[in-house]
Structure formats: C-alpha cells, structure tokens
Chain A
Amino acid sequence: MADLARRARWRRRLSIGARYLLLVVVAALVLFPIYAAVMVSQKPLTALGDLDVLVPDSPDLGGFADAFDDSNMTRYLLNSLIVSVLITAGQVVTSILAGYAFAALRFPAKAALFYLFLATLMVPGEVNIVVNLETIQRLGWIDSYQALVVPFLAFAVGTFLLRQAFLGIPQDLRDAAAMDGYGHWGFLTRVAVPLARPTIAGLSVFSFLLAWNQYLWPLVVTNDDDFRTVQIGLRALRDEAGSNLNLLMSATILASLPILVVLVLFERQLIRGLTAGSIKG
C-alpha cells in the first residue's frame, strides 16, 4: 500500500516535473528574440559576428543611455502615452454610449446601423489614408494631437463588446431600476456601467495596445519630431542608428517596456474583460 502510494506520488512529481520542463522550454522559445535583443543591446558591434553574443556579460547600460541621448526617445514615449490614453478614454466613452443604444433602446434602422458599425471594421485605415490626410490638412491638424487622436474616437469592437455586456444584464435589474425611478441615463450610469466594469477594463487595455501600436497613420500626419510617437521614432531611429545594431536594440527594448508594464499590471483585467464580453456570444 505504502509502496503504491509512494510510486503514485513519484509519478505525479515526475509528471509535474515534465510539465514544468515543457513550460520552461516553450517560454524560452517565446522569449528568445527579446533575450537576443537584450544581449545585442549590451554588446559592441564586433561581438555580433559570433554566437557568444548570447552569453550575458557585465551589463553595459550605455546603449540605453545613448538611445535616450541620441534621439527624442523621451518625447516619443510621452507622445505615445498621451495619444494612447486619449484614444482609450475616448473609445471607452463612445463605445459605452453606442453600445447602450444598441442594447437597450428601440429605434428605427437599428439593425442596419449596427451593421454599419461593424462594417467599419472592414474598411482598412490604409484605404482611407488618401482622403483622411486631405481632411487633416484642411483642418490644419498636421503635427497635432488632434490628428493622432480624433479619427480613432469611435471603435466598432468596443461598441460590440459593450452591447454584449449590457445585453447580459438581467431584465429584473432593469425593471427594479425602473421602479426606483431611474431613466435610461440613470440606469446606464448607476447600474449598467458599474456592472460592465470587467468589459470596460478589458476594452481599455485592448484599445490602449492598439493605439500604442499605431504605425502608418502617425507616420503620415506628423512632420515635426515633437509630435512623433514611439513607433515612428523607432522607425526613424532605424535609419538614424545606421549600423549601430546595439543602439537600435536598446531603443527597441525601451519602446516596449512601458507596454510590458501595462501588461503585467493589467493582464487579469484584460483576460476578464475579454471573457466577460465575448463568452456570451
């Protein structure tokens, strides 16, 4: 008996060990490009022609300092932060409003309008760049935060997710709120939005990531270095750094750090929000 139990325990330990081994190997594979970049960022150019570059050395943070000195990196990061926060806030608000309308109100052409919203997902921003650039020029918004933010203040995915979340609120609650004399606005602000908090949190993280990663649009509507976002800054740095692969990698790592922090801090919200929004299908 004791022998059997011990063997079972051993088998479990072995299986746990194997599972950890698999996890570690897979994690190493996923992280490898980042690891390699960190190593390269620490080494002089001559070290590049060799696999030894992967061996950690005494860390030399000079590359990071250079990345800050040689470029407008601080400014780029700040711009990306401002733009991403504004877009996120804007998208959350407009999505709550539109999502509620689609979930709780009756109005003509509702289905058609909803499809119109969803259709925006099928229009690639790149398609519209020809004309949107014109619009931005006409508004005099080149090199401004408006140009980077305003075109993204509505988001069909957000509207969709919040509609789902609002639809998931039990009818009883709505009836109870009506008895308490809440109109739509009161119900939305005091009941629906607090209940949809997980979805809103998830949407916020999602919007933030998308905004942070914008590439083509900021490239087109900014000429002034002071309004460039970190992605565009990186792109420019690719040219400016020339053959300085270590400098380039330092900057690349720096550019992804803030977002990594956001991820580590808010991973749970992101997962919960997406689950809450989409699971009800």
Chain B
Amino acid sequence: MKTLTAHPARVLVVVVVTALALIGAACGGDDSTDSSPDAAAEATSTPAPAGDDAAATPEDTAVPEREDEPEVEESACPVNALDGADTPVEITLWHSMSATNGEVLDELITAYNGAQDLVRVTASFQGVYEESFEKYVNTLRTRGERPDVIQANETVLQQMVDSQSIVPIQACIEADGYDSSDFVGRLLDQYRIGEVVVTMPFQLSNPVLYYNGTDFVDAGLDPDDPPATFDELLETSRTLVASGAVPQGIAMDIDAWVIEQWMNMAGEALVDNDNGRSARATTTMLDSEAATAIYELLATLRDEKLIVNTGRGTDQSVINKYLAVALGDAAMTIGSSSTLGEIYTQIGQFPDVDLRVAPLPGPEGGGTAIGGGSLYLTDQTEAEERAAAWDFMKWLNEPAQQIRWSAGTGYIPTRQSAVGEPDLEALWADRPGFRVAFDQLADAGPIPGGGGPVIGDHAGVREAIEQSLEALFQGASPGDAQAQAVEQADAAMADYNRRIGG
C-alpha cells in the first residue's frame, strides 16, 4: 500500500513503458506460436514414459487406448512422505457441496481430523461445480495459490488433464500398491484417459425419477409401478393430467446431464472417437436416432402440456422442480440421487407428499454412466501434502465413510464391500429410495468407450444442448433443435481443440 502511494510517477512510468513495450512487441510478433504474454509457462516435469505397471489396472477395462494419455510417474505421489514429516500436515480442499450435502461433508472432515494427528484438512465451499472450477482455472492462469485437492464433477476430466496442473491418481495407486478392485463397476473407467486413472472417486450419483405416490393413487395409477420407458413416461403423464390429479405430469429443469444419460441408456455415444475416449472428441452425435427419440419425447410432453419446464442452469431451476412436486404442480421429476439427503430433511414439511424414487425411465440397450464427481490432486503441493491428500482421499473412500456419506446425501457408495454392511442394509430397508441409484448403476449395460463422454469443452457442449432444449420448449421442432445443438456443440469443441493445439 505504501509503495503504491509513494511512487505515482513510477506507476505512470510503468504504464507508459508497458504500453510502449506492448506496441513494440505487437509490431514485431507475427505468428510465433506459444509466445505467451505472460512469463513462459512453467515447464512441467517430463516424467519417464509409463512403465509396464499394468498390474494395477484391472484386466477387463473397457476403456480404449489413447495415444495422448497423461504420463504417470510414481514419484509424483510420494505416499510415504508423511513418515517423519512435520505433522500435522495442513491441506486445503475446495468443494462444491452445499446445503445438507455440505453439512455431511463437514462432519466427515471433522471426523477425519479427529481420528488421526498426521493430517489436518481445511475445507472451503467454492460455489457450485462450475464456479469452483472457474475459480481454479483463473487461479491457475494467474499463478495464484491453488488448493491441494479440488472436488469437481465428471465433465472436467479432459480439461484437468489439459491444464497440466494435477497429479494423476494412477501415480498414487501404483506407488501405494492400492487395491482398487473394490470400487463399484465402471467407476474407475469413468475417470480413465487411456489406462491412466486421473482422479479419485468420491461423490458418485445417478439421475433417478422422483414421484409423489399420492398423485399416482389419485390418478388411479399403481404407485408401485412407475414408468420405465419413454412411452410409459408419456402415458403416465397423460393419465395424471387427464385425471385431474395434478396440472402437469412431470417437472424438469433443462439439464444436459439427463440428455447425456439417456444417450448412454440407449447405448449410443454422445461424441465421436468412442465418446472421446480413444482420441479427442471432435463432433457430437446429437442428430442420431437415439437423440431424436429424446427430443421427440420432450416435444410431445411440451405439445400436450404435460411438462413444467423450470428453466436452465440456475440453482433456482433445480429447487423449483422439487418444489413443483412438493407443492402439487406436478407429480414427477427427474433429478440426481444426490438430492435425496436434502429432500429427506425437508420432506417432513409436506405430509401430503408420498415421496418415491424409481430408476430413470428411458431407452434400452446401454446404461447410465457414472455421475457426480471426484477429487483431483493438484501438483503445486509438496511431497508431504500429496501424501496427506492421498491419505485423506483413501479414507473418504473407505466403506464406512461411504456409507455415512450415502446415508446423509443420497450419493451412491463407491465400494462394493459397502453392500452387506449393517448400516447400509438398515438404511436401504428403512428408505428404499437410497438403493435405487446403486441398483440402477449395477444393472447398467455397456456404454461406448466404457464410460460417459470425455470432452475438452464439455461445458460448452452442455451449453449447446441446453440452449437447444430452451429453443425446443419455446416451440422449435425437434429437428431444428437438434441441428442447432450439433452446430453449436461442434463449434465449441473445435474452438477448444484449436486453443489447446490438439
């Protein structure tokens, strides 16, 4: 502050000199590639080529090979560095868990900090996934202080790799000889690029159907027989509305995740190159038959006034779809299993609502992909911090913690061995809704590429899908909406790939 006010002249000089320098450079610089306006990017360590440590990789991985998979170096994850370190080692976590889910996460962290003296975790809520990731990227670009661990959703996998700012968790798995075979099916595959597991699972979710059994009974429907296919969803909505039980059958926000999951359920890839898993994705399949079925379903619901559209992208749009069911505007909605915990804390206020959960109705042939998100280990940390972070992430994935996490939030336990544990069995017996997403995932058929899509600008593709759905709900034909989605999504991917130089 003092130096700032004391040397105005110097500041002016700096401004002028900078301006001149910029102009000079502007004239000189033509097409020099990689001439950063900042100091040259810090060279990332170039580790030796990945060895033949395939032992840690399950044999039956369905994920295709990829030439530009991230390089793995065991030494990047010094798992034993906590021995003899100055303890407790402090690490920071940026997370996106709010409301009930945030409280449960805080409880878990308090429990972890209390259970051992080596590591202290400080967590801070950084807004929803998108906000938190934006903040991470801004911090990275301006060379600021990043957290040791950041929680993110499944859409940033490719970007995190491209950012060259993280340690692939594969390094820790190999360095620690960590047994990853107990993770539920296809969970690690979701987070692989080629053979390399990039990030540590933590919060695992799936979209499910929420519905009010009371409305079903009022409409003469069997609440134990929820719709399972697109046709049934449509028929159920018609019956619900025709009977006068509710003004609208279903409330939905505009969420590209659900569209992606419907593509997965149809066994179709969303993007080329095996869902972006054998090479960088370059184009979307939003004009495929599977996509057409989705857009046509929504158009029919729209035309017959069977759907409340609560809008896109805002936190309000999510809250509003649940409130629509709670307050009687619609009988069904589609949402993440991870809102179950929050719903159960609020449901007591609505005695007329008989809340039920069913698998996501949709096409057949494939199955839903892993949703939710994971924890990324950033590379700015020192050896002992990486070791501490690894210890913390392992602890969070132990069955006991995963059961507690699932019971509080509705996230799906990441470990197979959690099944059969008394706590989980008791929860599932008491509130069967908590089991639906787990079973749905366990029963899921194959997906091209072995997991959901991997896209550099996944957010841009989702934006394109959501804008096309907005157009649809304002009256666009399914075909026009799809064409718009393809054009915009492909442009977003091309733009990203061009800037990454891939």
Contact = CB atoms under 8 A, between A and B. Distances in A.
Interface of A: 44-46, 48-49, 133-134, 137-138, 142, 146, 150, 220, 223-225, 236, 238-244
Nearest to A44: B349
11 contacts: A45-B350, A48-B323, A150-B1, A239-B99, A239-B315, A240-B99, A242-B99, A242-B342, A243-B322, A243-B323, A244-B99
Interface string B42-81: 0000000000000000000000000000000000000000
B94 interface: yes
A220 B102 CA distance: 21
B378 interface: no
Contacts of A241: 99
Interface stretch (B119-127, B163-171, B226-234, B393-401): B119-127
Nearest to A70: B103
Nearest to B329: A49
A84 B55 CA distance: 59
A49 B125 contact: no
Contact of B126 (A44, A142, A146, A223): A223
Contacts of B102: 240
Interface stretch (B140-148, B238-246, B258-266, B381-389): B140-148
Contacts of A239: 98-99, 125, 127-128, 315
Interface residues of B, number: 31
A150 B127 CA distance: 25
Contact of B142 (A46, A134, A240): A134
Interface in B115-165: 124-128, 135, 138-139, 142-145, 147
Contacts of B135: 220, 223
Contacts of B342: 242-243
A223 B94 CA distance: 9
A49 B142 contact: no
Q: Is the interface of A mostly helix, strand, loop or mixed?
A: helix
A15 B486 CA distance: 66
B85 interface: no
Contact of B328 (A49, A223, A240): A49
Contact of B98 (A45, A142, A240): A240
Given A44-B349, A236-B127, A242 B100 contact: yes
A48 B327 contact: yes
B315 A238 contact: yes
B27 interface: no
Central interface residue in A138, A243, A244, by most chain B CB within 10 Å: A243
Q: Which 5 A-B pairs have the closest CB atoms?
A: A242-B99, A137-B144, A137-B142, A239-B98, A240-B98
B4 interface: yes
B36 interface: no
Nearest to A143: B145
A243 B319 contact: yes
Interface of B: 1, 4, 94, 98-100, 102, 124-128, 135, 138-139, 142-145, 147, 315, 319, 322-323, 326-328, 342, 346, 349-350
Most B CB within 10 A of own CB, among A48, A150, A242, A244: A242
A77 to B, nearest CB: 18
A91 B328 CA distance: 53
B94 A45 contact: no
A46 B127 contact: no
A220 B144 CA distance: 12
A99 to B, nearest CB: 17
Contacts of B1: 146, 150
B153 to A, nearest CB: 14
Given A44-B349, A150-B4, 11 more contacts: A45-B346, A45-B350, A48-B323, A133-B142, A138-B143, A142-B145, A150-B1, A223-B135, A239-B98, A239-B125, A241-B99
Nearest to A132: B142
A134 B102 CA distance: 30
Nearest to A94: B5
A223 B126 CA distance: 7
B124 A46 contact: no
B130 to A, nearest CB: 11
A142 B323 contact: no
A225 B125 contact: yes
A172 B354 CA distance: 83
Question: Which residue, of A134, A137, A138, A223, has the highest number of chain B Cβ atoms within 10 A?
Answer: A223
A24 B421 CA distance: 65
Contacts of B322: 243
Nearest to A247: B99
Nearest to B145: A142
A270 B166 CA distance: 52
Contacts of A134: 142
Nearest to B343: A243
Most buried by B among A150, A225, A239: A239
A24 B1 CA distance: 50
A48 B126 CA distance: 29
Nearest to B320: A243
A44 B351 CA distance: 13
Contacts of B323: 48, 243
Nearest to B102: A240
B139 A137 contact: yes
Contact of A46 (B94, B319, B350): B350
Contacts of B99: 239-242, 244
A138 B141 CA distance: 11
